[in-house]
Amino acid sequence: MVVNDNKIYMNVLQNGLDQGEEINKAVDEICNRNIENVFLVGCGGSLAVMYACNYILDTRSNIPSYAFNASEFNVINHKQFSENSLVILSSYTGSTKETVEAAKIARKAGAPTIGFMGKLGTPLAENVDFAFANDAATGVTDSKLIMLYQVIFRLMQNKGQCEDYDEIIKALKTLPTNLVKVKEKYEKTAEEFAIKYKDEDYFMTIGAGILWGETYSYATCIIEEMQWIKARSVHAGEFFHGSFEIVTRDTNVLLFRGEDETRPLCDRVERFCNKYTDKLTIIDTKDFPLEGVNEEYRGLFSPLVLSAALDRVSKHLEDKRNHSLKIRRYMGIVEY
């Protein structure tokens, strides 16, 4: 049976918003220093959620940003990293050893650090300058992205690079209500998808731009990690330069189309896949109303809309496949 946890979800998102004042204080204090760039550091889903921030900084600000897997960040001695880098770290457990190590490296270099984790008191929380926790049974990633957005837009605003800061924050505040409606709207479609595709042994997810993180993490952290099915994330622009050659009539393709600048890349994938596979599923964030959100900001929130819709897909896959999203072969079970 699929649990509807929408009330809990709404509270978790609201909790992310409610920490806005503390987040602002942290960012304002950090901005008393000369911040030259931003490093987004984590692993797996905790890294992927930050790709949207990377995209926003790249396309809406002059603040350079770099997203790195923590274990790579820890060894490469990136030459743009300095005491003037804002380092944003994330780990749901707060104990991912690579991410904790990255926090220590950042601190040792004198760089300001902000960390996101499930619970305070965890190693990551203890090793950053500012720690924000949002433990919950559901919606952790979405809540985290809401908090991350508050960090980066505040940073941009403080740097004089976000004229519409107030409007964006106002739109952000509509999300607890709006994203629940996304889930409700997608519930039935998600169930139908799960019934149709529950026996697939391969998923190809395709996306680009602001949705790349979610495209990557859905293949990696849900389909592979939580359902033990082979999966592959493909960038919509890269699709035509390799991966599309394996597409045949029965290739299971999930196309994630957002409302950012890269939307035409996904249109091209749709045109191709419509011709060559019978198993194309599209989640288009444009199909979901976001009341109170100005048209021009919808693209910013595409990752959250997609994540909300995909949560229902995951829950129905779990149910129809009789494979809990919580069981693991190795993670947290064996040493590695």
The binding site for a second copy (CB under 8 A) comprises: 43-47, 55, 58-62, 64, 69-72, 75-80, 96, 98, 202, 208-209, 217, 220-221, 224-226, 228-232, 235-238, 240-247, 260-262, 264-265, 268, 271-272, 276, 328-331, 336
The dihedrals phi and psi of 204, each to the nearest 5 degrees, come to -110, 120
- Measured from the CB of residue 210, what is the shortest distance to a second copy in angstroms? 9
- Measured from the CB of residue 301, what is the shortest distance to a second copy in angstroms? 17
DSSP state letter for 282: E
Quick one: residue 242, left, alpha or beta (phi over 0 = left, psi -120 to 50 = alpha)? left
Closest CA to 3 of 164, 133, 168, 139: 139
- Measured from the CB of residue 189, what is the shortest distance to a second copy in angstroms? 25
Token digits of residue 235: 């960038």
CA 304, CA 300: separation in Å to the nearest integer? 9
Q: Which is nearer to a second copy, 223 or 304 (CB)?
A: 223
Q: Which is nearer to a second copy, 189 or 277 (CB)?
A: 277
DSSP state letter for 91: E
Q: Which is nearer to a second copy, 121 or 264 (CB)?
A: 264
DSSP state letter for 243: G
- Measured from the CB of residue 192, what is the shortest distance to a second copy in angstroms? 25
Q: Which is nearer to a second copy, 10 or 57 (CB)?
A: 57
- Measured from the CB of residue 74, what is the shortest distance to a second copy in angstroms? 9
Q: Which is nearer to a second copy, 7 or 230 (CB)?
A: 230
Cα–Cα distances in angstroms (integers) from residue 227 to residues 46, 174, 235, 307, in the given order: 18, 32, 22, 17
